[in-house]
Amino acid sequence: MSTCQLEPCIELPLSEEKLKESVDKAKDWALMHGISMRSKTNFNKDQVQLLPVTLLPSSFPKNPFLTVKNVQTILNELIHKVAHDKEFLTSSLKSTIQADPFTAKLFHIYETVYEKDLSQSISLGLLRSDYLLHDDDCKIKQVEINTVATSFAALATITSEYHKYILEELGYRKKACEQIPENNALIGFCKGLIFAWELYNNSEAIILFIVEDITYNISDQRFHEFQIRQLCPKIKIIRKSLTNLVSEGVKLGPNKELIVSNMVVAVVYYRSGYELEAYPTEKEWDMRLLIERSRAIKCPSVQYHLAGTKKVQQSLAQPSVLKKFLKDDASVARVQEIFTGLYTLDFNDDGEKAVEMGINEPYKFVLKPQREGGGNNVYNESIKTWLSSMKESQERTAWILMDRLYPPLQKNYFLRAAEESPLENDINLSDVITELGIYGVIVGDSNEIMLNKQVGHILRTKLSSEDEGGIVAGVGALDSPYLI
Ligand code: ADP
Ligand code: MG
Ligand code: MG
């Protein structure tokens, strides 16, 4: 039985009349302020449609919210230090790269560049650490930390404003002002990009966004571009996929400058490149390597990318590992507090034990590969099937096992574009669970951290019946925390 009850921000359900009026206003506000994406079923560059969003802000307890906000700069530093510890990265990923070709490719780039060919020592990290509340006393626990193509800093910022508007419209001005916290994630990320651009110290140089061949989550990406233009008008931004760069014959200049369409690139910002689809041929991998060898500042550099893998997360959760990276015991304790159990599946005693645990009690765990972007994990009875079938095979070392978190339920209304939910003309009050994300920015090299900030937050909400909730995939919805 849950000891964690979350009261809704206002009395529910709304009357039919109030609901209809609020939904109409909410959809228009959201669309007109950019809570939108391109349609997957009917892609058209002249149109965007509503990105799934909750009508109301979901409740979130204030103390755990502040706990993880305040720990973010320590996590930023932790990722930075891990990324600069070759021995730790190598030993953590050793077994994984034998089984997982994607991580092996990244690792190969890392080794190639960092042994012989490093021309840019500074990395830019735009990070997001994600959390679920766990039923047991509402403790907050880290799900993962993202170091590559971290999304929704822009739309999360807008969603906080959207929920203030909705509560005000419903007559709750005081709650809107006091219980929906300020959110500056977009400006925070853009200032990080500009900070890196300034470090490059060439006023003619541009920022290159590496994007998918087709971008659905266009609004979130473009808002970064528009915000940078506002904050620093002289920076030019271009968008290319790795495949575009291959066909354009990108080269390095005499001082290893990355040159695209005759322009020098100061900062490369990956909004793609974490997924297999970004590398349809070896040529895209060659391009990733070329970029890594260049003098451009990468967000993320390949070592930041590797530091964000699930396998590294699992290595960090082992006893006394944090002590190696964090200077004081208090910081170690704060980070330890938000970790949950993570287990290796390597061929050793611990790995054998984890395989047995997963097979015997699959509902207590989540089985995770080294992938990003949602939809890759294994849950419930399937954990048994998967673990049994890979028990004797190297394949299992590409995965980790994690304690399953069971977050408390609450109620909310989901709004979606009609096209995504043709049968859903009536908006129903649903049982939902929420995942909090905290955004962090870090810039530095192996000697020095030059910028380290916590910059904002996001809440992502899904139906309680779903194991996972990708927003662009249409299963989850953007949300913002209502602090209680
Ligand atoms: P990705 O990098 O693909 O986003 P995540 O580790 O965030 O991978 O997992 C995807 C989703 O799976 C999360 O957003 C969350 O909904 C669910 N999930 C992941 N880990 C757990 C866990 N330990 N307990 C419960 N749900 C989890
Ligand atoms: Mg992730
Ligand atoms: Mg995730």
Q: Which ligand 1 atom minimizes the distance to the CA of 368? A: 6
The angle subtended at Cα 407 by Cα 404 and Cα 412, nearest 5°, is: 140
For residue 166, the CA-to-ligand 2 centroid distance in Å is 30
Judge contact between 131 and 437, C-beta under 8 A. Answer: yes
Please give the full DSSP string across 27-91, using - where no structure is assigned: HHHHHHTT-EE--SSS--TT--EEPPEESSPEEE-HHHHHHHHHHHHHHHHHHHHHHT-HHHHHH
| Ligand 1 contact via 372 beta carbon (within 6 Å) | yes
**Cβ atoms 153, 165 nearer than 8 A:** no
> Please, are residues 405 and 143 in contact by the beta-carbon 8 Å criterion?
yes
Res 117: pLDDT: 79
Q: What pTM was computed for the model?
A: 0.97
Q: Which residues of the chain have pLDDT under 70?
A: 1-3, 420-425
The DSSP symbol for 348 reads: S
In short, whether 435's Cβ falls inside 6 Å of ligand 1 is yes
What backbone torsions phi and psi does residue 458 show, to the nearest 5 degrees?
-150, 150
ipTM over 0.95: yes
* Integer angstrom CA distances of residue 457 from 26, 70, 186, 362, 437: 21, 12, 10, 31, 5
> What residues are labeled active site?
128, 144, 146, 151, 310, 368, 372-373, 460
pLDDT on residue 416: 92
* Closest ligand relative to 373 C-alpha: 1
Ligand 1 proximity of 373 Cβ (cutoff 6 Å) = yes
CA of 203 relative to ligand 3 center, distance in Å: 36
In angstroms, the CA 195 to CA 445 distance is: 14
Residues 60, 459 contacting (CB under 8 angstroms): yes
- Cα 142 to chain centroid distance, Å, stands at 12
Mutate to test the pocket of ligand 1, among 366, 459, 467, 479 (most ligand atoms within 8 A of CB): 366
Among 468, 478, 479, residue to substitute to test ligand 1 (most atoms within 8 Å of Cβ): 468
Q: How far is ligand 3, taken at its centre, from the CA of residue 308, in Å? A: 11
153: three-class secondary structure by DSSP: helix
Residue 143 CA to ligand 1 centre (angstroms): 6
DSSP calls for 399-459:
EEEEEPP-PPPEEEEEE--GGG-TT--S--EEEEEEEEEEEEEEEE-SS-EEEEEEEEEEE
Q: Going by C-beta distance under 8 Å and a sequence separation of 6 or more, which residues neighbour residue 428?
A: 413
CA of 18 to the centre of ligand 1 (A): 35
Q: Which of 276, 368, 377 to mutate to test the pocket of ligand 1 (most atoms within 8 A of CB)?
A: 377
Which atom of ligand 1 is nearest the CA belonging to 374? 3
- 433 touches 466 (CB < 8 A): no
pLDDT attached to residue 425? 60
CA distance linking residue 14 with residue 24, whole number of Å: 14
The count of other CB atoms within 10 Å of the CB of residue 395 is 16
Report the pLDDT value the prediction gives residue 1, as an integer from 0 to 100: 47
Q: Whose CA is nearest to atom 3 of ligand 1?
A: 374
Identify the nearest ligand to the CA of 135 by its number. Answer: 1
Closest C-alpha to ligand 1, atom 14: 468
Say how far apart CA 10 and CA 101 lie, in whole Å.
49
- Give kind and range of the element (H or E) at residue 130: strand 123-134
